[in-house]
Amino acid sequence: MTDPVPAVEIAGITKRFGDVTAVDDIDLEIGDGEFFALLGPSGCGKTTTLRMIAGLDFPTMGSLKIFGDEVGTLPPNKRPVNTVFQAYALFPHMDVADNVAFGLKMQKVERAERDRRVAEAVGLVQLGGMEGRRPNQLSGGQQQRVALARALVNRPKVLLLDEPLGALDLKLRQEMQLELKALQREVGITFVFVTHDQEEALTMSDRIAVMHEGRLLQVGTPEDIYQRPANRFVADFIGRTNLLEATVASPEEVVLSNGMRVEAASDHAFGTKVAVSLRPEQAFLHRRGGSPAGWPSIDGVLREVTYVGNALVHSVAVDWITIEVRTPYRSTETPPQVGDEVSVSWEPGGVTVVGD
Amino acid sequence: MTAIAGRLLPNGNPVRLGDLARRFSLTRGALTANAWFVYLFFYAPIALLVVFSFSADRNVGRWGGFTLSWYDDFIGNTSIQNAIWVSVRVALLSTVISVVLGTLAAFAIERFRFRGRQAFDALLYLPIIIPDVTMAVMMLLFFSEFFDLVNLLFGTDLRKGFASITVSHIAFNISFVSVVVRARLAGMDKRLEEAAMDLYASRWKAFRHVTLPQIAPGVAGGALLALTLSLDDVVVTQFASGPGATTLPVYVFGLIRRGVTPLINSVSVVMLVASIGLVLLSLFVQRSRGGAAVGPPGAVAAGRSRRSS
């Protein structure tokens, strides 16, 4: 048995536009059948990476393989991938059926086969009966389905999606997240999607690659990325967190900037400046002095309480920073009031050390 | 005082009914008069032209009783008919060629980055900016030198005529076509072409099946403009034409110098009727297609400016 061939294999890819390095020497393997997210803020190079896989941009250097075949300089029409574009890019002068049939026509698939596959794809995205409509007669969600059908009808080996849900409103976006996931299981091919929305990436993906300023910071499962962020940027970008400045004292301990010793494992050298990431939902709030015995605890003053439906978000001012604590909302309890003296604590070892 | 209780103008003064009525009727009256003046300026000359084409007197502007003899003259005058025929052929040929070249030039400038692009861009608009006379003199010099050279080298006998008129019309029409097409192209989402290529279209097929249908209104507009400019042109044509061939505007211009007779009126009326016929025909064609062949340009523009990284 040999190792399965990765769907997409990126090795040492760099992309420069003039003086600007959009993608800086990244290596990435995306497995067959994976739902893979490229996540990062605007301008991080995620869309450029996707466009290079699609063939819409060519790498300045490096190797790009799709199922083992080098495709780095092939034009988009010679690659076994299809793209769902941001804002869909549906052809406005064609109806739904012609939009979906376009790829098959270009590949000269014969009429009967084409009609059959178009009907199948339209059914797959639940747009039966809409075949004769123009894109401007469809809602945003329907346009998105047409874009999916138009790509999937070609049976690509890899489907690329550029901010596929970006143009939809929140409710529809959450529905489509689940639908996309179900669709991917149904067709069983690799989905690579680009998003700046960390929640979307965490919800939908098997694995996530976090990018920043053209570089790949971390690749891992949503749990990996959330629980064990590779560095300060990832910890801060994924979810919400409190970053407490610290210095490494031993492999098991760091010293916070107020001199407090905190149990936290790291492989950084003694004396390295690091940060301790404390997730708001992993922090606990007590009245001053009420922290469980043996738990690390910092005293502070409650500055603000925000009700967010299923939880309360507390801002606690300690000596040098404001810490966010998230607790489940229970109507029977009287929560601490603004101005109260409180303590923030966490389970020993419940924080993560992140370097720069 | 006829102030209405409680009603005040924005400046705090009370509304007076009399003032209001007077101001209203004055504005209305002025606007109506303006409209009539505009129509008068537009159509009075045309009406006069038509009326005097039926006048029996040789002097335009003096009514000498009704006659159709000027139309008889027109029908019997082969040189006018030749001029019309040349005009039509020049217009059609130069329009077709300049639409193809102008559209391709617009596409090149709008979609590709290449060395010398900015210079090409600026040069392309030159024929629009420089005066007609300059363009005409340029053409005259160019064709004289060029034909002399070719005749000298190959012993041929090339002269200015149909070909040189057509080439000079193409030269200025390309600019106008590419300006119009470019405006349309700039408003089109580039991702549509990328989507077509992602869906296995070659560059040519993407242009043929996606770009061209999207810019069709621009191309059609450019073609109409080119056709009109070519049919209208006097100055450039005068310099580029030779004894062998001349267009209708240049011929009419020549007639006027020899003294104006109502023959010119009859020629103009025939042209007028023909162009009204063309406009009606194009309206009819558009109506029967229901405008469905051309999608609304804004349909895909919504997300254009939102490309991330």
CA distance A303 to chain B (A): 36
* Cβ contact A22–B309 (<8 Å): yes
| Adjacent-strand bridge partners of B14 | B8
Confirm or reject contact between A155 and chain B (CB < 8 A): no
Of A255-264, A309-318, B249-258, B293-302, the least confident: B293-302
Alpha-carbon gap: A33 to the closest alpha carbon of chain B (Å): 21
Contact with chain B for residue A166, Cβ under 8 A: yes
The whole-angstrom separation of Cα A281 and Cα A324 is 9
When computed from its CA atoms, the radius of gyration of chain B, rounded to whole angstroms, is 27
In whole angstroms, what is the distance from residue B149 CA to residue B155 CA? 10
| Tens digit of each residue's pLDDT (9 = 90 or more) over A110-130 | 999 999 999 999 998 989 899
pLDDT, position B301: 34
Residue-wise pLDDT tens digits, A31-88? 999 999 999 999 899 999 999 999 999 999 999 999 999 998 899 999 999 999 988 9
SS3 (DSSP) at B26: helix
CB contact under 8 A, B309 and A77: no
Q: Is A136 in contact with B198 (Cβ distance < 8 A)?
A: no
- Rounded percentage of chain A residues whose pLDDT exceeds 70: 99
Partner B contacted by A163 (CB < 8 A): yes
Tell me if B299 and A22 make a contact (CB, 8 A cut-off): no
Cβ contacts (< 8 Å) between A22 and chain B: which residues?
Answer: 309
Give residue A3's identity as a one-letter amino acid code: D
Of residues B209, B293, B309, nearest to A42 (C-beta): B309
A127 in contact with B, Cβ within 8 Å: no
Q: pLDDT confidence of A173, banded at 50, 70, 90?
A: confident
Q: How many CB pairs (< 8 A) connect A and B?
A: 107
What is d(CA B278, CA B91) in angstroms, rounded to the nearest whole number?
A: 14
A 10 A CB-CB count for A255 gives 15
Reading the block at residue A98, the tokens are: 């012609």
**Is B191 within 8 Å of A89 when comparing Cβ atoms?**
yes
Partner-chain residue, chosen from A44, A103, A194, that has the shortest CB–CB distance to B200 = A103
- CA angle, A269 as apex, A265 and A275 as ends, to 5°? 55
- Residue of chain B with shortest Cα separation from A23: B309
How near does any CA of chain A get to the CA of B97, in Å?
26
Q: What is the mean pLDDT of chain A?
A: 91
- Give the burial class of B111: count Cβ atoms within 10 A of its Cβ; 0-12 exposed, 13-18 middle, 19 or more buried: middle
Give the separation between CA A133 and CA A24, rounded to whole angstroms. 43
Q: Which residue has the higher pLDDT, B58 or A135?
A: A135
Mean pLDDT of A13-20: 93
Predicted confidence at residue B302, as pLDDT, reads 35
- Residue among A101, A123, A99, A121 at smallest CA distance from A110: A101
Nearest to A92 among B196, B295, B308 (CB): B295
The distance of A144 to chain B (nearest Cα, Å) reads 13
A41 close to A212: Cβ distance less than 8 angstroms: yes
User: For A141-160, what is the mean pLDDT?
Assistant: 94
Classify residue B228 by burial, with Cβ atoms within 10 Å: 0-12, 13-18, 19+: middle
Read off the tokens for A189: 């091919």
Lowest mean pLDDT among A20-29, A232-241, A301-310, B288-297: B288-297
What is the model's pLDDT at position B20? 65
List CB contacts (< 8 A) between A92 and chain B: 192, 214, 295-296, 299-300
The reply to whether A43 touches chain B by the CB within 8 Å rule is yes
* DSSP symbol at A100: H
Contact map slice: A 106-125 vs B, CB within 8 A: 106-107
Q: Which residue has the higher pLDDT, B289 or A339?
A: A339
pLDDT of residue B15: 60
> Of B191, B193, B199, which to mutate for an interface test with A (greatest number of A Cβ within 10 Å)?
B199
> pLDDT 10s digit of each residue in chain B, 309 long?
444 445 555 565 666 666 666 667 888 889 999 999 999 999 999 998 899 889 888 887 788 888 888 899 888 888 888 898 999 999 999 999 999 999 999 999 998 888 888 898 888 888 888 998 999 999 899 988 988 898 888 888 878 888 899 999 999 999 999 999 999 999 898 899 999 999 999 999 999 999 999 999 889 889 988 998 998 899 999 888 887 788 988 988 888 887 778 888 888 898 888 888 888 887 887 676 544 444 333 333 333 333 333
Sort strands A242-250 and A273-278 into parallel, antiparallel or unpaired: antiparallel
**Chain B interface includes A133 (CB < 8 A):** no
CB B79 within 8 A of CB B219: no
State whether the Cα torsion A334-A335-A336-A338 is positive or negative: negative
Nearest chain A residue (CA) to B208: A106
Tell me which chain B residue has its CA closest to the CA of residue A76.
Answer: B198
- What is the rounded end-to-end Cα distance, in angstroms, of chain B? 69
